Structures are given as structure tokens and as C-alpha cells.
Chain A
Amino acid sequence: MAIPKFVTFTSQAVPLNIENIDTDQIIPARFLKAVERKGFGDNLFRDWRFNKTGDKIETFPLNDHRYSGKILIAGKNFGCGSSREHAAWSLFDYGFRVVVSSFFADIFKNNALNNGLLPVQVSESFLQEIFTAIQSSPSTTFTVNLEQQTFTIDSTGHTFSFSIDGYKKECLLNGYDDVDYLVSLKPEIETFENKKNDK
């Protein structure tokens, strides 16, 4: 089962300049009761996007008509807390393909990579440059090139070269997923089990 291939794109971005955004904020636990993976985007950042009566909170960046696009820019330590993959699913389902932050929590990063959502880790100063660019012009665009591992602020031409492990990069570019690969290793896994049991 393939994941969607990641292609180079240019898009506006949504700024969310808050640190330590945990996965309970990304998708509150009460929305984890589904047994199928669909519709999670509706409840992305539910309690920051909507008030208790279900009305949009207009000041929240996702509801701010000036901001749009497939890129979310967030403060450091994004995705901390629960391992719920629903966080990555809800971001993807909402339409995001890239999250940019100066620091990601480990489990979230893995979950994102396993779902075709690219976490781009930039320096703290470059992150501030991005926020400043959006602040001066909300319609400013950014270009994400995974092949070259670059994230560019189009208005200034400033580019950040981000790192990603080579295996995951290949998976994202080609839409491969880990399960197919691991299943192909079954004979080797069985040999490993036999050796382990002999010890």
C-alpha cells in the first residue's frame, strides 16, 4: 500500500507561532474513537479552531482568511505528547503536506514520515525569518523541494537546506511504505528468530 508521492511544490503557509504544540491540541482524544482513517481533518486543532458552541474562532490562524496553503509553520517542539498517529492523519487530511518547525518530537516525526507528511526542521533563526516574511506579507509563498532538500522563502530567495534520512527520502519521493519492505525480509527475520531462540 503506497503512500502518496511527494512532489516539489510552491504554496502559501499558515503561521502558528506557538511552542510545544502537543498532539492533544492537534487532535483532542475525544476524536480518536473512529475505527477507520477518515475525516480527521475536520477536527484538526479542534479546540483552538472552534469554541464550545462550534463557531469558528476567527483569530486562530487556520480560520484567518489571509492565510492558506499546504504548509504549516509552527514553534519549536511540535508534536510532543501522545503517539497518536491521528495527529499526522488530521494534518494531512486537512490539506497540509509540510510542517516546518525548529524542533520536532520523535514519535510525531516518524508518524508524519510514514504518512507522506514532510517535517522540515529549520534553524530557530530561519524559522523567525519565515514568520517575519508571513507577517509582512501573508500571501508570501514558499517552495519545498525534497529532491534537493531545500525550503525557500520565495520573496527573499533565502533557502534552508534541511536534512532527512536517505531511506525515508526515497520512500517519500517514490511513495514506498515500510510494511512492504519489512514483509520482504521475512526469511531473514525467521533466521534471526531461530538464532535468538537457540541462545
Chain B
Amino acid sequence: MSKTLFDKVWDAHVVREIEGGRSVLYIDRHYIHEVTSPVAFSGIRNRGLKVFRPQQTTATPDHNVPTLNQHLPIEDEQSRSQVETLIANCKEQGIELFGLNHPKQGIVHVIGPETALTQPGMTIVCGDSHTSTHGAFGAVAFGIGTSEVEMVFASQTILQPKPKTMLIRVEGELGKGVTAKDVVLYIISKISSSGGTGHFIEFGGSAIRSLSMEGRMTVCNMSIECGARGGMIAPDETTFAYLKGREYAPKGKEWDAAVAQWKTLYSDKDAVFDTVYEFDAADIKPMITFGTNPGMGIAIDASIPYSDHLSGSDKVSFEKALQYMGFNSGESMIGKKIDYVFVGSCTNGRIEDFRAFAQAVKGKKKAEGVTVWLVPGSKAVEKQAYEEGIVDILKEAGFEFRQPGCSACLAMNADKVPEGKYCVSTSNRNFEGRQGQGARTLLASPLTAAAAAVTGQITDIREFIK
């Protein structure tokens, strides 16, 4: 029978199916961090259990960590306690930990791929919704809650209902200044922030194929922002070239065998998806959000929509969002003054993102009065940015390059946007208060962030780079 890519990977990991449509799903790789793991560790301890397969779990602190002076003890007492608890728990359970200042530390969804712990055909979970990132390698990867983290600790399996499948195809060539981030913001603006709920998405089409692994990760990362359980892309030569030679990738004969197996991971020609969307790459422009969920995105040169076509709670929610943002329908986004720029996160904190940002700001100067946080996704990204001379370009233009962590994406550390201030952010969520109480987030690509950082206002990158 014809199968989708998702079905192939999922079915190969079902230990048993139980009544009511749930499956006991075997997990190949489990990533943990300091925020969603402590209660799960207490849970197995209270049951008198040990972690069943500690060698399949990898830990790193990322959500809470400061992005300056990481060699010093963490100032915030609670953050420090969470990070110390992670260290103690990993030691007790024999789990490998990439702690602060370790060369492999970083945002969990950045370090998994860059060390090749993430590989095609795997099932991967983490107590973090952006686990969908790893789907870029043709893995079934999705975020779970803490109860489920405990299930994985206890049994290396979880109980899950099998999601429906969705194919999103983007065909054609991407225009100037249009990045992977714009592609995914465009898709979410079309299908809404709940359009993918209950589904696992496969992204395909020539525009997706043309993306680098970094770009594919950006797309899969944000599949949760349309409500999907995860997103994935069939592995191909781009995938294999990225993985080859990385630390945990198979070597020698094992590599050849692995690639041969990975090449079977694609949706069969006549495989049937529950839902299919097709988009034309030529319709996609640089995108920016104007509201308080990631589905509220528009082309950067468009004006803020009206709510006339909405009614009831749809209308109320739309107007509440505009009020929070301090925007009015009909206004143009271009030219709006901004206060902060954040480049980083598991969405856009990879080397390619900083290359793009540096290229765009090279020879220019940071706008006065704008605070810019450039936060690498990992120690490896940080190191590479120094080695490639990216940091020199940034410094020359008046920017500071920080140390790795989740940072202002969710503002659990000190990197908080003040109330009422506008932040052009390369992260994934523009929810109320996400970047700090009362903060106003405008989601965009690293290129659009670069244009804002040097002009101090929302700027069309296509005008900026011509």
C-alpha cells in the first residue's frame, strides 16, 4: 500500500496499537531542557524508577540562561535553581548534558541537528513545542508535555493518537529578499494559526526543495504555529550533505547503509493525504506580523486589514489584537518606528541567519535608539560567527553579539522587551507579553530584522538591498 513519508516513519515505531486509536510509539531520541523536565524527573523518582534508556536522551540548559557573562553564576535565583536541578538530575540518571559553556551547549533544537544527533527516519520528542524543527531531516519530531516526558523516561515510549496527514506544496522560485521565514509566515497567514491542528504536515515542492537545511528547519520549526503536531521534509542530497561528517552521524560503511535507508523516506507517488494545500512561490513577499498570533501576518508592503468581514468573537479577538499592538486597520506597516530587534531563537538563530543579517548591515550603522539583541542559537554557531568574521562586521556596524540561549523569544531570562515597545523579532511567537509584559512583537525574517535595525523603522528589505 502507498504510504506518506509520515506514515512510513510513524508505522515503523509503533510498538502496539491500543483501543481508542492511540499507539504506543517508540522514541529514538529525547531532548530535554531545564524548564519542562524537573517535574518529570521527580515523577519517576517517586515511582522508584530509573530512566529506562538514558543514552537516548540528551540535555542542555537553554530557556533560562543569560546571554551575557555565561562564565559567571546565573544571577536569577530561580533560573539558577532550574539549571542546577537539571545538572543534578542528569548526573543521577546517567544522561549526557551539554551544560553552560560546554562547546555543544545551545538551544536544544539547534544543537540536535548540528551534532547530527537528529537523523532522518527517527522519532524525536522534547518537552517543547518547537521540536517540530527536527522534521526538516525527515524525522517525526514533535513537542510533548511534562507527563509525556515522564513516559519517555520510564519506558522510551509515549501514548499518542495518530495525527492526520497534510501536504503543503510550494512550487516555483522565491523572489528577492524572500526567505524561508517569509514562506512559513505566508503559509500560516493563509491557513490560520489553527489550520494545521490534528495534522502532521509534509512540506514539498520546488521552493521547499531549494531551501538549505537551515531554511528547512525554519519552516518545520513554525509548523506548530498553525497548530500542526509537526512538519517534515523528505531527506535528499541537501540533507545528506549537511549531516555527513558531523559528530554523531554514522561513519564509513554505516554511513552508506544509513543513506541507502534514508533514501526510502519519501511519500509514495500515489500516497493519499487527508488535506493538501498548494502555494505559488511567486506570490510570497517578505512578511511581517501585525497582530498577536503568528497567523496575523501580511506582506510587508501591505496595509493592516480591516475586520469588516469578521463577526462575533472573531471580530472581538481581531480588534483586541490591534488594540494591544497599538495599530489601526488600513495603516501601512512600512515606516512604523521600532524600538528593539531580536535575531535568534530556534527559528532563526543559525549561522545562515547571522550571515544574512551581517551581509545586509555590512558597511551601515545601527540606528540610534534601537536596542538590538543578536543571540546565537548555540556555542557552535557563536564560534563559527567569530571564525567567519561575521562578528567583526557586526561590531563595525555597532552591534553586540551575545551568548547562546532562547533569550528574548520567551523572555525567561533578563532579555525582556519593555511594556509598549515594538520589537522586530526573528522568533516564532507574537503572543501578548511573550517577549516581556506588554511587549509588542513583529515577527519577520533576519533580513527584515536587519533593515529595521539600521533604519529604526519597518523597512522593505527589497528596497533596502537594491
Contacts and interface: CB of A to CB of B under 8 A. Distances in A.
A61 interface: no
B365 to A, nearest CB: 33
A106 B155 contact: no
Contacts of B157: 182, 185, 189
A179 to B, nearest CB: 5
B10 to A, nearest CB: 14
Interface in A104-135: 105-107, 110-111, 114-115, 128
A82 B320 CA distance: 21
A107 B316 contact: no
A185 B145 CA distance: 21
B69 interface: no
A179 B47 contact: yes
Contacts of A193: 26, 156
Interface stretch (B79-87, B106-114, B166-174, B236-244): B79-87
Interface string A1-18: 100000000000000011
Given A30-B411, A106-B198, A114-B148, A24 B429 contact: yes
B383 to A, nearest CB: 28
Interface stretch (A83-91, A141-149, A153-161): A83-91
Nearest to A111: B145
A167 B129 CA distance: 24
A167 B20 contact: yes
Interface residues of A, number: 57
B155 A24 contact: no
24 contacts: A18-B320, A24-B432, A29-B63, A29-B434, A33-B82, A35-B81, A75-B313, A77-B193, A82-B429, A83-B127, A83-B143, A84-B145, A85-B39, A106-B197, A110-B148, A114-B145, A165-B20, A169-B20, A179-B154, A182-B24, A182-B151, A183-B47, A188-B16, A193-B156
Interface in B209-260: 227, 229
Contact of A182 (B85, B155, B194): B155
Interface of A: 1, 17-20, 22, 24-25, 28-30, 32-37, 47, 52, 75-77, 80-86, 88, 103, 105-107, 110-111, 114-115, 128, 165-169, 177-179, 181-183, 185-186, 188-189, 192-193, 196
B191 interface: no
B433 A28 contact: yes
A85 B313 contact: no
Contact of A77 (B64, B158, B197): B197
Contact of B129 (A47, A83, A115, A165): A83
A83 B229 CA distance: 11
A172 to B, nearest CB: 12
Contacts of B21: 165
B437 A47 contact: yes
A25 B227 contact: no
A105 B16 CA distance: 25
Contact of B24 (A82, A105, A185): A185
Given A18-B317, A80-B194, A80-B227, A30 B26 contact: no
A25 B197 CA distance: 19
Interface of B: 12, 15-16, 18-22, 24, 26, 35-36, 38-39, 42-44, 46-47, 49, 52, 63-64, 76, 78-79, 81-82, 85, 127-129, 143-148, 150-151, 154-161, 163, 193-194, 197-198, 227, 229, 293, 312-314, 316-317, 320, 410-412, 419, 429, 431-434, 437-438
B43 A81 contact: no
Given A28-B433, A182-B159, A83 B79 contact: no
Given A185-B16, A189-B156, 16 more contacts: A18-B313, A24-B434, A28-B437, A32-B412, A33-B79, A36-B38, A82-B410, A83-B144, A84-B35, A110-B148, A115-B147, A128-B312, A179-B44, A185-B15, A186-B52, A189-B155
Nearest to B128: A83
Nearest to B292: A20
